Every structure is written in C-alpha cells, then in structure tokens.
Amino acid sequence: MNVLEVKEIKKSFGSKKVLDGVSFSVPDNCIFGFIGRNGAGKTTTMRAILGLLKTDGGEINVCGERARYGCTPKSGCIGYLPDVPEFYGYMNAHEYLKLCGEISGMGSSELKTRISELLELVGLDKEKHRIKGYSRGMKQRLGIAQAMINRPKLLICDEPTSALDPVGRKDILDIISAAKEQTSVVFSTHILSDVERICSCVAFLEGGKTAFSGSLEEIRAVRGNTALELTIVEPNDIERISSAFPDGRVNDGKFILPQASEKDCADLMAFLSAQMIPIARLERREADLEDLFMEVIGK
C-alpha cells in the first residue's frame, strides 16, 4: 500500500510555473529520496502535501485521505521537518516536545516515555539548555524528534542535511535510517551521496515535472551498462583509440567509453595490447545517481 500518492499537481507563483504535473507515490516503510536542484520545487511540493499551500490542480492522498489546503491531514498521519526548523527559543527540548505531543492529543504518561525515547534517539537527552542556544545540527535533531512524536505514518524531511557538517549529516542520516522501522520517510535533498546511502526509492524533480521515479534498483537497471574510463600514459595515443572506438569521447585527457558491455571492455583491452599502448589506469565505472541526475537535468 502507498502511504502517499501525488498525482499531477500543479502550482504557479504569478507567471512562474513551479510545479507542472508532479506525480509520484511512496510505499510503506520506505525511505524516499526526493531529488532536485535548488528551486526545483521540492519544498513547494512538500508544503502542498502538508496542506500549507494551495495547489492549482492535481490530487494528493495521504494515508488514503485527500489532502486539502488549510486542513492538515488527519492527526497522527504526517510528521514534518522544515528545511530550517524554527522553535520557541525560550523552551528546552523536553518542554517543546511536550507541547507538540499535547497538541497531537497524546496522554501524559505515553508522552513522557515517548519524549525520553525520542530525546535519546536524537542524542539530546542530556541537553538541559533552552533551544535559543542550540546549534543548527541540534535544531535539526530536535526537528526530527518533534516530527516523530506522534508516531506518524509518513515523515517528511525537507533538506535535513543540507547545511550540516559531515558529522552532523551522518547523525541525521543514521536517525532517519532508524526511523524507517516505524514510518515511511520522504526526504528531499540535492546531496546525491545521502540518497545513495539511505534511500530505497527516488524521484527526480526537474522543470516542474517528475523526470524519473522508481526504486534504486530500477535506476541501476536502467543505467545497467557501466562506463569504461581509460587513462593513458602518452597523450598522443588517444587519437588512435578514438578512431578505433567512435562511441567513446575524450574528457579531461581521459578516454571514456559510455555504456560499455563486457565485449566492449575485452575489445578495448585487446586493442590496447595489440597496439602496444601503455596505460596508467583502466576503470569500470558504475553508473551512479549523479550521472542520472545530470542526464535528467540535461547537462
């Protein structure tokens, strides 16, 4: 079953078309990477899902319920971590989570155990200071805790790692991975290594449309052929290789044979050995998300 279904949503700000038919769906217990450039419309899509933004068309279903502008989908269904989470600086983490839990309608005994559980999960259990003294990373972690307080079926994180240092990023990714046990996660980002690390499904957003949507395996299947990257010792030899393999291209002094099959690889090696061309390095490169991303955005 899909916890979230987005069908053909459209949104313009004045004459600027931001979303022009975005569609994707998120299955249960999956970490879904929502990838796009800055300004591609990731935040706009997420706000539309949350009912914080009025769309010009299309349909959004959250946990089987239609999302509408101004009405938050039924309580307990969605947890949201904004890109720059803002809290009440005069409260401490415990007090803030208590406020969130009470608004979600949780009972006080349940809330007490849930708060200590979450504070431990995000590593803020020993933090007694007020939120105004928190670093960006601590705020992100508190943001995840507040989003998960009422055990939502869907956790939406808007660029949770974009502004963090490597340690903070790893922490957040670990927390999100751990959250997968309890909930589905939609995770928007433009950092592709994060997506490869934790996501099982992805969607690319480009030009206001979903340019690609599917599981990571599907992407790998599409881009099944690997590229060969050859570095040679004598730059002059490169022309001989190019004429023998017209599909290849020269990039930065390296010869690259895209979408090379096993046979192409053997042929290239046979050619090199027959022509006695000395090489520095021959590498098979797995197609990664970056290739696909570049292809999607047309660069």
Q: Which residue number, 176 or 228, has a Cβ lying nearer to another protein? A: 176
Helix axes 166-179, 136-148, angle to 10 degrees: 10
Residues in region 101-120 near another protein by CB under 8 A: 102-105
Q: Where is 114: in which H helix or E strand?
A: helix 108-121
Which of 32/204 has CB closer to another protein? 32
Q: Give the Cα-Cα-Cα angle 299, 7, 153 (nearest 5 degrees).
A: 105
Adjacent-strand bridge partners of 212: 204
For residue 171, count other CB atoms closer than 10 A to its CB. 19
Provide, rounded to whole angstroms, the least separation between the CB of residue 155 and another protein: 11
What tokens were used for 243?
């004429």
CA–CA dist 245, 112 (Å, integer): 67
Residue 244 within binding range of another protein, rule CB under 8 A: no
Q: Which listed residue (100, 138, 268, 292) binds another protein by CB under 8 A?
A: 100
In the list 55, 146, 188, 213, the residue contacting another protein (rule: CB under 8 A) is 146
Q: How far is CA 35 from CA 196, 243, 259, 290, in A?
A: 11, 38, 24, 11
| Distance in angstroms between the alpha carbons of the first and the last residue of the chain | 35
Q: Pick from 50, 63, 179, 241: which binds another protein (CB under 8 A)?
A: 50
Q: Which residue from 99, 191, 244, 256 is in contact with another protein, where contact means CB under 8 A? A: 99
Q: Which of 59, 84, 259, 266 binds another protein (CB under 8 A)?
A: 84
Contact positions toward another protein, by CB under 8 A? Answer: 50, 52-54, 70, 72, 74-76, 78-80, 82, 84-88, 90-91, 95, 99-100, 102-105, 143, 146-147, 149-150
